[in-house]
Amino acid sequence: DLELNDHSHAANIRKSIRLIAKVSTLITDGYRIAHGEQPLPEREDLTLAGSLFYKLRGEVPQDWQIQMMDTIFILYADHEFNASTFAARVTASTLADIYAAVTSACAALKGPLHGGANEQSMRMLDEIKTPERAEDWLKDQLAKKAKIMGFGHRVYKKGDSRVPTMREIGRDLGKRTGKENWIPICEKLEQTMEREKHLCANVDLYAAPVLTMLGFDSALNTPIFAASRVAGWCAHVVEQHDNNRLIRPLSLYTGPAPRSYAGGSKNGA
């Protein structure tokens, strides 16, 4: 990229537009090649999210599928200083280029407490199977002190504002696909967790079945998250470079108190 080291606002905007398109293409083409299929060409008549649907599924999405995909991308596009976004801004603050910053963000998705949450949520729903089993299953897991994915949030203490929209998409999809078990399972889990632990659901709980009902392999949940969140990452990098200061938080030492050194010489040799 001839603009690699140009951190001006205009150059970063141009690179952001290219990155948003390229990340989606990397995901779709990489997935198809890994499964022995040829990559599909872009469809300029579709939205970015609609094109991703087409290139992964191999079928042109209907209008309602495009609308759902667009909504999912909007819900996931940005969410202030989450782990991946903060990683991107820290990297950008060193005046590293936008590609390095987005690479840092992607690396943060490797951890299951951030990037893999919706994929693990789907495994949980697969294990529960029916709404009738949800309450007992959850109580058993809580008794075992197990980590329950799809609940709690470092920012939202009274509920994730993205959940109602994702829940409605799920209900609509359940009717359209005949897979009407998933959302009632989520709702039962939500009710039980609120009662037992006073924890609210976050968007990952409902995103998991939504993406499954749209026909995506659960292994694509995190890549689809990245395809939507890259817009937010890029926006943060642009903002950081526009008014940059090196991000260098202070640390608070919590170890042992100072100790004397019983070395054999003044220089500790």
User: Domains (ranges, CATH) in the chain?
Assistant: 9-112+222-242 (1.10.580.10), 117-213 (1.10.230.10)
Choice among 7, 97, 160, 204 that is catalytic: 204
The confidence score (pLDDT) of residue 228 equals 97
- pLDDT of res. 120: 86
Residues 30-85 have pLDDT tens digits of 999 999 999 999 899 999 999 999 999 999 999 999 999 999 999 999 988 999 99
170-221 pLDDT, tens digit each: 999 999 999 999 999 999 999 999 999 999 999 999 999 999 999 999 999 9
Contact 80, 232 (CB under 8 A): no
How would residue 158 be classed by pLDDT, with cut points 50, 70 and 90?
confident
21: exposed, middle or buried (Cβ count in 10 Å: 0-12, 13-18, 19+)? middle
Tokens 């995909």, residue? 69
What pLDDT score was predicted for residue 267? 58
Which two three-digit tokens encode residue 74? Answer: 């909007």
198 is catalytic: no
Q: Is the pLDDT of residue 266 over 70?
A: no
Average pLDDT of the residues of the chain:
93
Encode pLDDT of 115-128 as tens digits: 877 888 899 999 99
Shortest CA distance to 206 belongs to which of 127, 147, 133, 124?
124
pLDDT at 248 > cutoff 90: yes
The DSSP annotation for 115-171 comes to TTHHHHHHHHHHHH-SHHHHHHHHHHHHHTTPPPTTB--SS-SS--TTHHHHHHHHH
Residues 201/166, Cβ–Cβ less than 8 Å: no
User: What is the rounded average pLDDT of the residues 98-123?
Assistant: 90
Closest CA to 236 of 113, 118, 83: 83
pLDDT value at 8 more than 90:
yes
Residue 96 has pLDDT above 80, yes or no: yes
Supply the pLDDT for residue 26. 97
pLDDT at 268: 52
Is the pLDDT confidence value at 153 over 80?
no
Question: How many Cα atoms sit within 13 Å of 193 on the Cβ side?
Answer: 23
| Marked catalytic residue, from 153, 160, 236, 241 | 153
Quote the pLDDT of residue 159: 84
What are the φ and ψ backbone dihedral angles of 201, each rounded to 5 degrees?
-70, 150
pLDDT at 263 over 80: no
- Residue 204 is among the residues annotated as catalytic for this protein: yes
